[in-house]
Structure formats: C-alpha cells, structure tokens
Amino acid sequence: MTTPHHTSDFLHDLRRRSAAEGGVFWVDEGLLALFEPHAARQVSGSNWHRLVMHDRLIDMVRRRTSHPVRWTRVRGAWLAQLHRLSTGEHHATMLARMEGAVEERLGEEVDLVRFAQDLTVRSMLPVALSGLTTRESARISQDLNQKLVRLIALDPLRGPWRHLRFTAVQVRAGLIVRRVLRQRSSGRRPRELDLADPIVELLPELGMDRALDVVTAVLTAIAGPPGAAAASVLYELARQPDWNRRLTEELAEVDPERFCESPATVAPVTHRFVKEVLRMWSPPLVLMRQARQTFDLGTTTLVDGQSYLLSPHLIHRDTRYWKQADAFDPDRFLPGAPHGPADKDCYVPFGWAPKNCVGADIATVQLMMVCYLMLKRYRLAVPDIEAVSVAYRFAPVPQEFRGTMSRR
C-alpha cells in the first residue's frame, strides 16, 4: 500500500477538486484520481483480474526464472487459514494478548496513538507469523514500529545514519522471516496456524524472495491500518459520551469470544460503532496503483502503465453519496436509515475486489474487542478531548492524544 503524499493540505485539495470535478480527474500528468465509487470498483476489478506474481528483478539479475504464481492462490491460502483462526478459542487468545498490553500501561499517561499500535500489533503478530522466539518477535516488532513512525511522523526520517539504521532493522527482520520459512519447510521448526504457513507450502513454486515479499505484505498490512483504526476507535469512544454509554450497556451482557460468530448479531450497537469509525477515519487515506491495461472511462482514458489514486476515505466523506457525511452517527447503518450509504460501492473501508483486505473480518472483531476492553474491563480517561485534532498522514492521526487507563 503506497501513499504518495501525507499532508492534510494534499487531502483537502483532493477533496475540494473531487467535489468540483465529479470524482474522476487528473491530479497531475500521469496520475488519475478515481474517487467515483463505481469507477473505482470497475477499474480495480479488471486491473487485478488474473494477477500473476512473475520473476522479481533479482531473478532477472541472477538469470533465473521462477514459476508464475497466480495471486488468487496466495489469497485463497490466506483466507482458508483465517477461517481456521476464526474460532472463539483463537479470539480469546487474541483478547488476552491485548489485555496484557493494557495491563502493562495501567496508571501511566500514554500516547494513545502509539499505544493503539502496540495493542493491535501485539495481538495480530502471531496471526501473521507465530512461534517466534522473544528476540525474533521483538526484532520484527521493531521493524514494524519504525515503519509506522515514519508514516505518522510530522518530520520524516532525515540523515544518513537514521536511514542506515532503518535499513539494518528492516534487513534483520527479513532475515528472520527467511529463516522461519526455511526451517518450517525443512521440519526444523514446527508448522503453525498463521498466515505465513501456507507460504511454506508454496515455497518451491514461489522461491524464497517472492515468499518473503508475500509474508512482508501481511506484516505491513497488520502494522498500519489496524493500529490507526484502533486509535480512531479510542478517539470516538472519548469524544462520544452517548455512544460510549450505549456500547457499555450492550457489552455488559456480551461474551467477546462470540464476536466471531456474527458480530452484527452478537453486539449490533458495537458493530455499527466500529463501522462508523471506519467510515469517518478510514485508513489508509489514499492508495496509489498502476494501470495494467488501458481503461476507457468515458470522460477520460487511463492508459496502461499510468498511475491512479483510490481513497475509501474520500468516498466515505463525499456528500453526493452520504447525507451529513462529516457527522459521526453509527445509526446510519441501521436498515433504511436516510443517511445510510447510497449503495454498497459507497462503503469500502477494506478496499475493492479482487485485492480487497483479506483481514476484514478479523480486523472488525479486533476493533470490537478494543471497545470491549475499554468499556467493560478498563476505564480510559482523556483529559481534554475537545483539544485533540485529527491530522491526515498515511491515515487519520489524532494529535497530542494522551490518556490514562485504569481497571474497572
């Protein structure tokens, strides 16, 4: 996932132009904004149809040829594994890991953006890559954290030493992933129920370099959007006392291990709340993609090789498709609500088929668990929520968002 620019100004400018120019316009030469929901769905659908992983640059340099592997095989393997992980028992261990992260910070004033990140990475890392030693896990987390800090910081990395250090940490994390895959494949490490494991099966076809790319894609996916979304959940819980009360009432009666059964039935109010957080504060804000064929879009043509931008966030805040688009109201997701989505293409927090997020279900449950922990087991005190503003980086990031957690 790539964000070309991170500033609030850039996003405000895109929003203004999208309103004026109908959602499809050239940002600059060679970069088309596709913020019209149906065009975004159609282009995504055709662009990635039959996506195949070919040789990497390194293969060409070393004059070796790898098997082309269809992306749907990788996705299918991930989805099957996530289905196996979707049980009350696995969700209980995910919740316990999150609880551990809260317990460590009780009573201390914490930066809630960084804390939300820690909470989600800790609970999700074993889903992506399990059975690591404490040292391996710390090193992978260090790499994920440094990447996130680079994405949310106001001042990006500067200076050759910091770059060198960044690269060293990244390379070390990559070496760990390679070792895990190699050892699992040779039987020197046990197989695990995680998203890296099906890649061990595909290793003979993918080769180690492409296998590393695939595992890194999952690690990147769990390191960015889930933490940003969890920070936004904490922000709205602090900002919306009425909703805070409604969720507290509902969650008093709910067993969180049942979230995986059918979140919308088990805890409908909490589910709507999470959906609305993902509408208002959808991460990542902008995705940049390259056209793999030429598209005739009626008003303009996107030529093979040109780039285009997608943005769930800008679709979610577009007043052509949402009434009161900037107001936070989970009840808009009640059936027949007048301010609900104009159609299903207008609510896309997890992107577009066939490259949409494979972790959508587990991510929703995870965010509902954040609500459960903060309302049922702990109490979160944020001193002056009205003073907290949201800046747009790779995702919406509440600024100076600090608070203290205590046990209930």
Chain residues in the site for ligand HEM (CB under 6 A):
1, 44, 75, 124, 127, 217-218, 221-222, 225-226, 229, 283, 287, 312, 349-352, 355-359, 362-363
Question: For residue 282, what is the DSSP state?
Answer: P
Please state at what angle helix 134-152 crosses helix 197-223, rounded to 10 degrees: 40
Q: Please, what is the minimum distance in Å from the beta carbon of residue 364 to ligand HEM?
A: 7
Contacting residues for 164 by C-beta, under 8 A, at least 6 apart: none
Q: Between residues 211 and 221, which has the closer beta carbon with respect to ligand HEM?
A: 221
Q: Please, what is the minimum distance in Å from the beta carbon of residue 125 to ligand HEM?
A: 10
Q: Please, what is the minimum distance in Å from the beta carbon of residue 228 to ligand HEM?
A: 8
Q: From the centroid of its chain, how far is CA 62?
A: 34
Question: Does 357 count as an annotated binding residue?
Answer: yes
Residue in this structure with the two tokens 């609510």, named with its chain if needed: 347
Q: Between residues 113 and 229, which has the closer beta carbon with respect to ligand HEM?
A: 229
CB atoms within 10 A of CB 52: 11
Contacting residues for 160 by C-beta, under 8 A, at least 6 apart: none
| CA distance linking residue 33 with residue 321, whole number of Å | 17
Reply yes or no: is the peptide bond before residue 284 cis, omega within 30 of 0: yes
Q: Between residues 27 and 82, which has the closer beta carbon with respect to ligand HEM?
A: 82
Q: Please, what is the minimum distance in Å from the beta carbon of residue 162 to ligand HEM?
A: 28
Amino acid residing at 331: D
Q: Between residues 184 and 289, which has the closer beta carbon with respect to ligand HEM?
A: 289
Q: Quick check: helix, strand or coil at residue 4? A: coil
Q: Please, what is the minimum distance in Å from the beta carbon of residue 285 to ligand HEM?
A: 10
Q: Please, what is the minimum distance in Å from the beta carbon of residue 366 to ligand HEM?
A: 7
CB 210 within 8 A of CB 258: no
CB 117 within 8 A of CB 147: no
Q: Quick check: helix, strand or coil at residue 243? A: helix
Q: Between residues 4 and 383, which has the closer beta carbon with respect to ligand HEM?
A: 4
Q: Between residues 63 and 391, which has the closer beta carbon with respect to ligand HEM?
A: 391
Cα angle 50, 54, 58; round to 5: 160
Residues comprising the binding site?
357
Q: Residue ranges for the binding site for heme?
A: 357
